[in-house]
């Protein structure tokens, strides 16, 4: 049987951004989805370094696709704690669901989503690495480890380290956060101030020049309760004097009677949303980490799912008008509720991580609970609820 190499649309990457784009296409324009192929360098279930925290926006986007995230193995937390040096704000689910945060493992979540896409007829080729994207006048050539593929439009959903961004922006200033992560068993209650079933974000490293926090999320690995600890630094000013991520994580662990000794520490960048950056080139649009996600927390799963809907809308529009320049993609993105939220998060990160004064940070997290909560609920999260575009 000969395998076709020519499609209407090629999607590079089958993380949440690529899979959501395909699933939204299938919902909005089934004929177009039939002539779409996802190219994925790994095969599901594949490892992806990630805390796996999914906010309610993720549930809402998936519900719009007729999918139920509760099918995925997970731990749910009733409370999230946003603290400075151990004290601060405790927030529950703003939507009264009783679930502040869902914690999935990405190998399981992404494989589940890929399975849903397959069942709905989406074509996917795994173990195919995209090497280069070459946009021509008539189509886009995608050079891969399995030969050349051609399409009218390409979606770059290949993550923070993907190659598709290079086809859109040749050179740019880095907009990438740094994150380290480890997995450890739960702590004995008498050793830690943390409630073991809640999520914690501690912003104590900010006065040391780090734009971020240390996290502690309960999670499950193969059904066993574990804790995912990590450190996030938006890296807003690369090259400036910064605390070392590993030292900061080790310091927090010590406070809970834990240590990094003998623990495998893994790191990965997270590209954050820079509103002035390009997001498309003729024949190519970017989605998810390849385009940029949340600068404030490094939250990218729900945003990647949200990008899928916007990318699918842009594709349907391009095929209707037979115009593949994607010159209005950036405007579409910036005007979307997701785009507005990501823009606010970048601005908030610049402001919040710029406050290096310890007393001011402590005051913010301990005294400004109500304004922070209102800001978060009305500007930073629930973008998917505010989205009234078709396909919701
Ligand atoms: C340590 C860490 C912790 C995090 N914790 C959280 C969290 O708790 N909650 C949250 O919301 N976000 C978190 N994030 C961010 C989140 O993981 C990403 O934002 C999210 O995965 C983005 O999804 P995506 O689909 O854009 O990219 P990805 O999930 O990275 O998927 C990209 C896909 O493209 C494939 N690919 C890459 N290159 C090629 C190629 N050349 N050819 C073919 N295929 C290719 C990859 O194999 C992969 O399957 C975390 C990130 C890190 C690093």
- For the stretch 167-185, pLDDT in tens is 999 888 878 999 999 999 9
What's the pLDDT at 391? 67
- Counting from 1 in the atom list of ligand 1, the atom nearest the Cα of 181 is 1
Q: Ligand 1 centre from 371 Cα, in Å?
A: 31
Q: Is the pLDDT of residue 242 over 90?
A: no
- Counting from 1 in the atom list of ligand 1, the atom nearest the Cα of 158 is 34
For the segment 362-375, the average pLDDT, to the nearest whole number, is 93
Q: Is the pLDDT of residue 133 over 80?
A: yes
Q: Ligand 1 centre from 374 Cα, in Å?
A: 29
**Alpha carbon distance 36, 154 (integer Å):** 10
For the segment 10-24, the average pLDDT, to the nearest whole number, is 98
Q: Is the pLDDT of residue 392 over 90?
A: no
For the segment 370-384, the average pLDDT, to the nearest whole number, is 93
Class of domain 6-72+106-174+272-354+382-386: alpha beta
Q: Is the CB–ligand 1 distance for residue 212 below 6 Å? A: no
Q: Is the pLDDT of residue 94 over 90?
A: no
Q: How are beta strands 6-12 and 147-156 bridged, if at all?
A: parallel
DSSP readout, 97-117? SS-SEEEE-HHHHHHHHHHHH
Q: Is the pLDDT of residue 191 over 80?
A: yes
Q: Give the pLDDT band of residue 4 (cuts 50, 70, 90).
A: confident
**Alpha carbon distance 216, 199 (integer Å):** 6
For the segment 333-342, the average pLDDT, to the nearest whole number, is 98
**Best residue among 12, 38, 148, 298 to mutate for probing ligand 1, ranked by most atoms within 8 Å of CB:** 298
Q: Give the pLDDT band of residue 292 (cuts 50, 70, 90).
A: very high
Label residue 261 exposed, middle or buried (CB < 10 Å: 0-12, 13-18, 19+): exposed
What's the pLDDT at 313? 98
- Kindly report the average pLDDT of the chain as a whole number: 94
Residue that wins the pLDDT comparison between 92 and 217: 217
Cα 309 to Cα 23, 24, 60, 109, 352: the distances in Å are: 9, 6, 12, 18, 30
Sheet holding 176-184, edge to edge: 87-92, 79-84, 199-202, 212-221, 224-233, 176-184, 266-271
Classified as helix, coil or strand, 380 is helix
- Counting from 1 in the atom list of ligand 1, the atom nearest the Cα of 164 is 41
In DSSP terms, which residues pair with 7 in a beta bridge? 151
What's the pLDDT at 98? 84
Q: Ligand 1 centre from 14 Cα, in Å?
A: 9
Q: Ligand 1 centre from 48 Cα, in Å?
A: 6
Q: Is the CB–ligand 1 distance for residue 146 below 6 Å? A: no
Terminal-to-terminal C-alpha distance of the chain: 38
For the chain, domain boundaries: 6-72+106-174+272-354+382-386
Q: Is the pLDDT of residue 333 over 90?
A: yes
Q: Give the pLDDT band of residue 236 (cuts 50, 70, 90).
A: confident
Q: Give the pLDDT band of residue 3 (cuts 50, 70, 90).
A: low
What's the pLDDT at 370? 92
Q: Is the CB–ligand 1 distance for residue 270 below 6 Å? A: yes
Q: Is the CB–ligand 1 distance for residue 205 below 6 Å? A: no
What's the pLDDT at 274? 96
What's the pLDDT at 237? 78
Q: Ligand 1 centre from 106 Cα, in Å?
A: 9
Q: What is the pLDDT of residues 256-269, one digit of tens each?
A: 999 999 999 999 99
Q: How are beta strands 176-184 and 224-233 bridged, if at all?
A: antiparallel
Q: Is the CB–ligand 1 distance for residue 117 below 6 Å? A: no
What's the pLDDT at 171? 85
What's the pLDDT at 189? 86
């Amino acid at each position: 049987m000969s395998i076709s190499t020519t499609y209407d649309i090629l999607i590079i990457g089958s993380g949440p951004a690529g899979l959501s784009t395909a699933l939204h296409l299938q919902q909005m324009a089934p004929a177009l989805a039939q002539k779409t192929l996802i190219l994925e360098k790994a095969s599901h279930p594949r490892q992806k370094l990630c805390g796996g925290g999914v906010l309610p926006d993720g549930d809402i986007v998936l519900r719009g696709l007729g999918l139920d995230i509760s099918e995925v193995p997970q731990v749910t937390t009733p409370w999230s704690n946003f603290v400075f040096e151990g004290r601060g704000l405790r927030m529950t689910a703003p939507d009264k669901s009783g679930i502040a945060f869902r914690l999935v493992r990405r190998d399981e979540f992404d494989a589940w989503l890929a399975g849903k896409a397959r069942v709905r007829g989406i074509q996917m080729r795994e173990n195919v690495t995209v090497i280069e994207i070459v946009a021509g006048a008539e189509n886009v050539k995608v050079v891969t480890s399995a030969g050349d593929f051609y399409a009218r439009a390409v979606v770059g959903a290949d993550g923070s380290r993907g190659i598709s961004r290079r086809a859109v922006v040749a050179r740019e200033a880095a907009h990438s956060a740094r994150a380290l992560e480890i997995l450890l068993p739960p702590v004995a209650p008498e050793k830690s101030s943390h409630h073991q079933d809640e999520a914690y974000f501690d912003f104590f490293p900010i006065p040391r020049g780090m734009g971020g926090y240390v996290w502690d999320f309960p999670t499950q690995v193969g059904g066993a309760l574990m804790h995912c600890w990590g450190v996030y630094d938006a890296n807003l000013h690369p090259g400036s004097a910064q605390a070392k991520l590993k030292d900061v994580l080790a310091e927090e662990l010590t406070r809970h009677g834990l240590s990094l000794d003998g623990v495998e520490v893994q790191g990965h960048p997270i590209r954050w949303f820079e509103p002035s950056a390009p997001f498309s080139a003729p024949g190519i649009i970017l989605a998810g980490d390849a385009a940029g996600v949340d600068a404030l927390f490094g939250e990218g799963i729900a945003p990647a799912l949200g990008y899928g809907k916007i990318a699918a809308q842009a594709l349907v529009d391009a095929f209707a008008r037979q115009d593949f320049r994607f010159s209005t993609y950036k405007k579409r993105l910036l005007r979307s509720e997701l785009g507005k939220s990501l823009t606010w998060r970048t601005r908030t990160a610049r402001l919040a991580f710029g406050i290096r004064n310890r007393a001011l940070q402590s005051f913010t997290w301990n005294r400004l609970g109500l304004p922070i909560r209102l800001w978060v609920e009305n500007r930073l999260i629930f973008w998917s609820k505010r989205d009234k575009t078709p396909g919701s």
